[in-house]
Structure 1
Amino acid sequence: MPHTLTRRALPLTAATALLGGLLALGAPDHAEAAVPDTIPLKITNNSGRSEPVYVYDLGTQLSSGRQGWADANGVFHAWPAGGNPPTPAPDAAIPGPAAGQSKTIRIPKFSGRIYFSYGQKLDFRLTTGGLVQPAVQNPSDPNRNILFNWSEYTLNDSGLWLNSTQVDMFSAPYAVGVQRSDGTVSSTGHLKSGGWTGFFNALRGQPGGWAGLIQTRSDGTVLRALSPLYGVETGALPANVMDDYVNRVWQKYATSTLTVTPFADQPNTKYYGRVSGNVMNFTNASGAVVTSFQKPDAASIFGCHKLLDAPNDNVRGPISRTLCAGFNRSTLLVNPNQPDTTTANFYQDTVTNHYARKIHAQMADGKAYAFAFDDVGNQESLVHDGSPQQAYLTLDPLS
Structure 2
Amino acid sequence: MAAVAALVAPSPSARATAETAIGRAVTGAAAAVPATIPLTVTNDSRRTEPVYLYNLGTELSTGRQGWADAAGAFHPWPAGGPVPVPAPDASIPGPAAGRSLTLRMPRFSGRVYFSYGKKLVFQVATGGLVQPAVQNPSDPNRDILFNWSEYTLDGGGLWINSTQVDMFSAPYAVGVKRPDGAVATTGHLKPGGYRGFFDALRAQPGGWAGLIRTRSDGTPLRALAPGHGIEAGALPRDAMAGYVDRVWARYAGTTLTVTPFADRPSLAYHGRVSGDTMNFTDASGAVVTSFRKPDSDSVFGCHKLLDAPNDQVRGPISRTLCAGYNRSTLLTNPRQPDTSPAGFYQDAVTNHYSRAVHAQMADGKAYGFAFDDVGAQESLVHEGDPRQAFLTLDPLD
TM-score bin, normalised by smaller chain: over 0.9
Q: Is the 8 A contact 2:21 2:154 kept in 1?
A: no
Residues 49-106 of structure 1, C-alpha deviations (whole Å, 9 max, x = no match): 0000000000000001000000000000000111222000000000000000000000
Aligned partners of 1:280 and 1:4: how far apart in 2?
A: 31
Aligned partners of 1:121 and 1:273: how far apart in 2?
A: 49
| 1:287 equivalent in alignment to 2:285 | yes
In structure 1, the partner of 2:373 is: 375
Aligned partners of 2:96 and 2:68: how far apart in 1?
A: 21
Residues 254-278 of structure 1, C-alpha deviations (whole Å, 9 max, x = no match): 0000000000011111000000122
| 1:324 equivalent in alignment to 2:328 | no
Aligned partners of 2:151 and 2:356: how far apart in 1?
A: 25
List aligned pairs for 1:1-399, cutoff 5 A.
Answer: 1-3=5-7, 5=9, 7-8=11-12, 16-23=14-21, 26-27=24-25, 31-32=29-30, 34-399=32-397
1:375/1:51 CA distance change after superposition, 3 Å: same
Displacement of 1:117: 0.2
Query: Match for 2:207: what amino acid?
Result: G
1:383/1:31 CA distance change after superposition, 3 Å: same
Query: Match for 1:185: what amino acid?
Result: V
1:47/1:5 CA distance change after superposition, 3 Å: closer
Q: What stretches of structure 2 of length at least 5 have no aligned partner?
A: none
1:328/1:30 CA distance change after superposition, 3 Å: farther
1:90/1:25 CA distance change after superposition, 3 Å: closer
Aligned partners of 1:283 and 1:129: how far apart in 2?
A: 39
Query: Match for 1:18: what amino acid?
Result: A
Q: What stretches of structure 1 of length at least 5 have no aligned partner?
A: 11-15
Aligned partners of 1:32 and 1:59: how far apart in 2?
A: 21
1:24/1:282 CA distance change after superposition, 3 Å: farther
Secondary structure (helix, strand or coil) at the match of 1:74 reads coil
Q: Is the 8 A contact 1:166 1:369 kept in 2?
A: yes
Displacement of 1:194: 0.3
Secondary structure (helix, strand or coil) at the match of 2:32 reads coil
Displacement of 1:30: 8.1
Query: Match for 2:381: what amino acid?
Result: V
Query: Match for 1:285: what amino acid?
Result: A
Q: Is the 8 A contact 2:8 2:131 kept in 1?
A: no
Aligned partners of 1:241 and 1:156: how far apart in 2?
A: 40
Displacement of 1:32: 3.9
Query: Over aligned residue pairs, what C-alpha RMSD do you find?
Result: 1.3
Normalised TM-score (structure 1): 0.96
Displacement of 1:219: 1.1
In structure 2, the partner of 1:13 is: none
Aligned partners of 1:118 and 1:6: how far apart in 2?
A: 22
Query: Match for 2:146: what amino acid?
Result: F
Secondary structure (helix, strand or coil) at the match of 2:90 reads coil
Query: Match for 2:6: what amino acid?
Result: P
1:111/1:132 CA distance change after superposition, 3 Å: same
Normalised TM-score (structure 2): 0.97
Aligned partners of 1:141 and 1:254: how far apart in 2?
A: 44
Query: Match for 1:181: what amino acid?
Result: P
Secondary structure (helix, strand or coil) at the match of 1:229 reads helix
Displacement of 1:279: 0.8
Residues 163-199 of structure 1, C-alpha deviations (whole Å, 9 max, x = no match): 0000000000000000001111000000000000000
Aligned partners of 2:395 and 2:353: how far apart in 1?
A: 20
Q: Is the 8 A contact 2:164 2:225 kept in 1?
A: yes
1:30/1:84 CA distance change after superposition, 3 Å: closer
Displacement of 1:31: 3.1
Count of paired positions: 393
Displacement of 1:24: 5.5
